[in-house]
Structure 1
Amino acid sequence: MSRRVVRQSKFRHVFGQPVKADQMYEDIRVSKVTWDSSFCAVNPKFVAIIVESGGGGAFMVLPLAKTGRVDKNHPLVTGHTAPVLDIDWCPHNDNVIASASEDTTVMVWQIPDYVPVRNITEPVVTLEGHSKRVGIISWHPTARNVLLSAGCDNLVILWNVGTGEMLLVLEDMHTDLIYNVGWNRNGSLLVTTCKDKKVRVIDPRKQQVVAEKTKPHDGARPIRAIFMADGKIFTTGFSKMSERQLGLWD
């Protein structure tokens, strides 16, 4: 006779209070693409949300100052020929956002302060260099016009957005799908996690892996890592029993 054991949750009796209708956005058709992404990005002016769209990929930009029900015909940012997988606001200009897509391209967009009357369809620049879908983008924290992209071709590319040219390509460093990429505070190092269960610290200028940790978490589910302000690395993952784990590494 077997007995089923149910793992107790610390949050099973915790209930949240929903905000009022005039303090949230309603009627947004968030993308249903199966990709490990937050599907949104926010800065001091706008919130951008990847949405369902026929005939290609799109995302919606909404001003933070205006909440409530979103018109079903609200203009979108369109231009990709396949679903958008990631978006990231430029830290140096609140009106500039980048998008990455299954169509293997990265696009950079200029968002006006006013709400446009029609879809935004022309990017400032289109970056082409990946051979498979691009699922990760991240602006350099201190250098202007420098954007990072990582694709399912296991490449990490740094771009000069001003010229549309590749600054460098980090190849032969990842043997499998890249789960996430993060900069340290001054942009001198990268931390990456990969399906091969390794966390790597990379010096992009030297194009070298300067530190590596195998299996920081034993579970099969994806691992994520970020740099802390003091230079330590914070990771999230799972145990073999699918229990959530957190890690802090020197």
Structure 2
Amino acid sequence: MSRRVVRQSKFRHVFGQAAKADQAYEDIRVSKVTWDSSFCAVNPKFLAIIVEAGGGGAFIVLPLAKTGRVDKNYPLVTGHTAPVLDIDWCPHNDNVIASASDDTTIMVWQIPDYTPMRNITEPIITLEGHSKRVGILSWHPTARNVLLSAGGDNVIIIWNVGTGEVLLSLDDMHPDVIHSVCWNSNGSLLATTCKDKTLRIIDPRKGQVVANNFEEPVALQEMDTSNGVLLPFYDPDSSIVYLCGKGDSSIRYFEITDEPPFVHYLNTFSSKEPQRGMGFMPKRGLDVSKCEIARFYKLHERKCEPIIMTVPRKSDLFQDDLYPDTPGPEPALEADEWLSGQDAEPVLISLRDGYVPPKHRELRVTKRNILDVRPPSGPRRSQSASDAPLSQHTLETLLEEIKALRERVQAQEQRITALENMLCELVDGTD
């Protein structure tokens, strides 16, 4: 009598669970644009969702803690003249997010830690270079301020956001619409899929396709899904790939190993309502005290619902085997270093004591000018730190904060006056 051997894996019993109702984000008008991006981006500080907007494109940014019903007048990030198609948080600055639009532009935004009083309408920088809609964005995983965009013009552009310059333009790699783009872990290579049904591995700095037309798959997994696109999310720390069908109501997850058969089905999280999009929290934003190894933000028609993936463990101690050191918020390279050919693995951090997001950090944009390389015409007075002028963005942020405080004080004064009047009426009524 043969006995079936069960494969040993610490992730064999990973289970998914929707957060409680009061932990969801309600009354959000999720975008109805028919586009295949995830419509949602999340980091340890903020949740961003592309929303319906009249007269242009917009997305909403909420602090993670602001759960419950979202006020219909909550400020949006607006500025595009056509629908927003993709958004992506900078991995090296939790206050910086990029947006791509049908209006052919990319905008990079600085999100304040406080809740703004009105819509955010001024990006830090607008990147213009595509001739058709821009539907794909992806920040470089290890180099500071390096952003990739792909458009309906079948072109991939890699930008230095800090200067607004085009670092590389890959305009002869794809004969048709690009469906998705992904960096490898150190940002030396790109993987792309295209409408011509070809997967390409590209070295962007050499401008060469280094592999494509893979003859035989390493593993083939047949899946019963709806006609919607699959949104894949890969966690290299656990070697688990999660497949979320857009328009589907499930998340299937698999463990990847080095030995045949390479791909091992783990389980499926199912719910009643289909997902309009999905956000995936970076590992540093998870609750390690609860053995949480992944967290998704599932978009419904009018709300966003966190879904938590957990490994069942009885011990309250930090689980070293579940949480190896993981990429942190510090870049390993500058944009010029990467462009010159240098590669570097992500700068890792430990999650043993949990992760505390750094304080607000400003993205500085410097437009290069040919005059900057000319020698000074005469002696220059050395400038002390106290002489350094405030940047335009810092000044605007301070003015916004002052205005918000002034409005709050005025509102409190009005409330005090109203209460005093009520008190007077009560006193007069008793006399």
Q: Following the alignment from structure 1 to structure 2, what is the Cα–Cα distance between the partners of residues 42 and 125?
A: 21
Which one-letter code corresponds to 1:35 in the other structure?
W
- What corresponds to 1:193 in structure 2? 193
| SS class of match (2:147) | strand
Q: Write the deviation string for residues 82-109 of structure 1: whole angstroms up to 9, x where unpaired.
A: 0000000000000000000000000000
Q: Which amino acid aligns with 2:178?
A: I
Matched-pair contact (CA < 8 Å) for 1:180–1:225? no
Matched with 1:94 is: 94
Q: Are residues 160 and 61 of structure 1, via their aligned partners in 2, closer, same or farther at CA, if it must alter by over 3 Å?
A: same
2:111 aligns with 111
Contact 1:183 1:226 in 2 (8 A): no
Counterpart of 1:52? 52
Match of 1:5 in 2: none
Computed over aligned residues only, the root mean square deviation of the Cα atoms, in angstroms, reads: 3.1
- Structure 1's unaligned 5+ residue stretches are 1-15, 239-243
Q: CA deviation at 1:19?
A: 4.1
Contact 1:182 1:225 in 2 (8 A): no
Report the equivalent of 2:127.
127
Cα distance per residue 1:139-185 (max 9 Å; x no partner): 00000010000000000000010111100100111011101000000
Change (3 A) 1:165 1:28: same
TM-score by length of 1: 0.82
Code of the aligned partner of 1:94: D
Aligned residues: 228
Q: Name the counterpart of 2:72.
A: 72
Question: Is it true that 1:21 corresponds to 2:21 in the alignment?
Answer: yes
SS of structure 1 residue aligned to 2:22: helix
Partner of 1:13: none
Name whichever structure is richer in helix by fraction. Answer: 2
Return the alpha-carbon distance in structure 1 between the equivalents of residues 76 and 228 of structure 2. Answer: 33
Report deviation, 1:229: 4.4
Q: Which runs of 5+ in 2 are unaligned?
A: 1-15, 246-251, 259-431
Q: Report deviation, 1:214.
A: 5.3
Give yes or no for the alignment of 1:179 onto 2:179: yes
Contact 1:76 1:120 in 2 (8 A): yes
AA of the residue aligned to 1:119: N
Match of 1:10 in 2: none
Residues 48/213 of structure 1: CA separation in 2 closer, same or farther (3 Å cut) = same
How far is 1:213 from its partner? 2.2
CA positional deviation for 1:113: 0.3
The residue type equivalent to 2:83 in the other structure is P
Write the deviation string for residues 53-88 of structure 1: whole angstroms up to 9, x where unpaired.
001000000010120000000000000000000000
Residue 146 of structure 1: aligned partner: 146
Match of 1:213 in 2: 213
Please say which structure displays the higher CA radius of gyration.
2
Do the aligned partners of 2:38 and 2:231 also contact (CA within 8 Å) in 1?
A: no
State the Cα deviation string for residues 104-148 of structure 1 (Å, max 9, x = none): 000000000011010000000000000000000000000001000
Amino acid at match of 2:30: V
Q: Distance in 2 between matches of 1:115 and 1:175?
A: 44
Kindly tell me: are residues 197 and 224 of structure 1, through their superposed partners in 2, closer, same or farther at Cα, counting changes over 3 Å?
Answer: farther
Tell me the equivalent position of 2:165: 165
Residue matched to 1:82: 82
Given that residues 191 and 226 in structure 1 are in contact (C-alpha distance below 8 angstroms), is that contact kept between their aligned partners in structure 2?
no
Higher strand proportion, which one?
A: 1
Distance 1:63 1:89 in 2: 13
Letter in 2 for 1:149: S
Is the CA contact (8 Å cut-off) linking 1:193 and 1:225 kept in structure 2? no
The whole-number CA distance in structure 1 between the counterparts of 2:109 and 2:144 is 15
Q: What amino acid sits opposite 2:87 in the alignment?
A: I
Taking structure 1 as reference, are residues 223 and 25 closer, same or farther at Cα in structure 2, changes over 3 Å only?
closer
Change (3 A) 1:21 1:228: closer
SS across alignment from 2:213? strand
Superposition deviation, residue 227 in structure 1: 7.8
Partner in structure 2 of residue 203 of structure 1: 203
